[in-house]
Structure formats: structure tokens, C-alpha cells
Structure 1
Amino acid sequence: MALDHFDPRLRTNDLVQELKWDRELRARFETSEAEVLAAYPLTEEERAAIAARDFRRLYHLGLHPYLLSQLARLIYGTGEKAGTSEAATALIRSLLGDEYETYMAARGD
């Protein structure tokens, strides 16, 4: 995944960075995601992609590839929580879209 689509002006990049470093903001995001998203100057397309867990759309909007994985972990769980594999699976499923089943079959899963 290259940086072809990366847009440093995309506010979701800032949101994910702040979620990573601000424990209080992360806690609010977990309990009231819509409220946190409303406090950021995101486009409706960004909000909808986050709400839908559409990581592929976020990538095409300009979210940095590294931050895609960070957002997946923030939403689905991190090393401190059971569910890290759920985060990776959700990210891969979203990024591959219709190609996900073919990818999984090729892996033997």
C-alpha cells in the first residue's frame, strides 16, 4: 500500500493521532463515538466511512496507511484487549472488498 492517496490535510489523520495519544478522548470515543466525531471538522464522507468501518474508503480519502491500522486497533481492540486479530481481519476485509474471499481461500482459511 503506497502513499499515492495520502492527504495530510485530511482531518481524520489528526483524529486518529489524537485518539492514539489522548486516553480521555479514546474513552469518550468508545462510549460516544458520534459525539467525538461531531467535535472534529470532518467531512460527511469521512464520518460515514468511520461509522461504516470502511477503511478502504478512508484510504482513498487520504488517511495514511499506518493510521488505518491504528484506527482499526482503536475500534476493534489493541494488544491490551482481546480482539487484535479482529482488528486486522476487519481492516483486511475492508481494504480488499470483494477480493477478500479470494484472498482467504488462497491462504487456506
Structure 2
Amino acid sequence: MSERALSEAAMLTSLRDIHLPASAPGGGLAELCVAVGLAALGALLVAAALRALSLRRTRPVQPSLRARVAALDTLPEAARRTALLHLLRAHAPERYAHLREGLYAPGGGVALATLEAEVARLV
């Protein structure tokens, strides 16, 4: 740097030497593509936020044990036995563990009346 001060005209002339390009490579098409892309991204973000806010988060109502047992009356015997075993396993695992030993016994396993009596104790 020099020790003397620049004149105002010299300073303005040196500032005018800095030139920015009139347009970027790709010109208006590139700017249009960027604008469309940003608009699409913004639309996706807004749609995702609205979807997340509009979803209901309710839990399905589980029927009571009494209603579930009553619905088993229409099933055939084999399906009813299986359904009663599932109910017993879900609501009284210690009784299910006791009856599980006889499930595969010769002669058909646990009687349907026994299973109905066990589930009736729960209701």
C-alpha cells in the first residue's frame, strides 16, 4: 500500500472495476427450474405436515371379554375350542399353563365344557 491517500475519483474508479456477470450459466431456464423445484419441495412439506396433523389417533375399541365369549357361540366346535384357548391364554395364563399339558393327550385333549367353565370364571 502506498502512504498517500487516494483521491475520491481514484477510489470510485477502482470500485467500478468489480463487475458481476450479467447472468449465470443456464440463464433464466436455470432460475425457473430452481424456483419450480423449491415450490414443489415446499408443497410436499406442507402436504406432509397437513397429513400428519389430520390423522386421527384413536385406538380401536376392544370388545369386552363377555362380548367376545358370546360371539363364539356361532363357531364350530374346533374353532370355538381354539378361540377359548386363546382367550384363556390372554386373560389367565396360569390356568392355560395348567390345561396346556392335556391339549395333545390322546382322545381329543381338553373337553370343550372344561374350557367354557374356565373362561366363564373370568367373565
Q: Normalising by the residue count of structure 1, what TM-score does the alignment of the two structures yield? A: 0.29
Higher helix fraction (1 or 2): 1
Rg comparison, structure with higher value? 2
Q: Normalising by the residue count of structure 2, what TM-score does the alignment of the two structures yield? A: 0.26
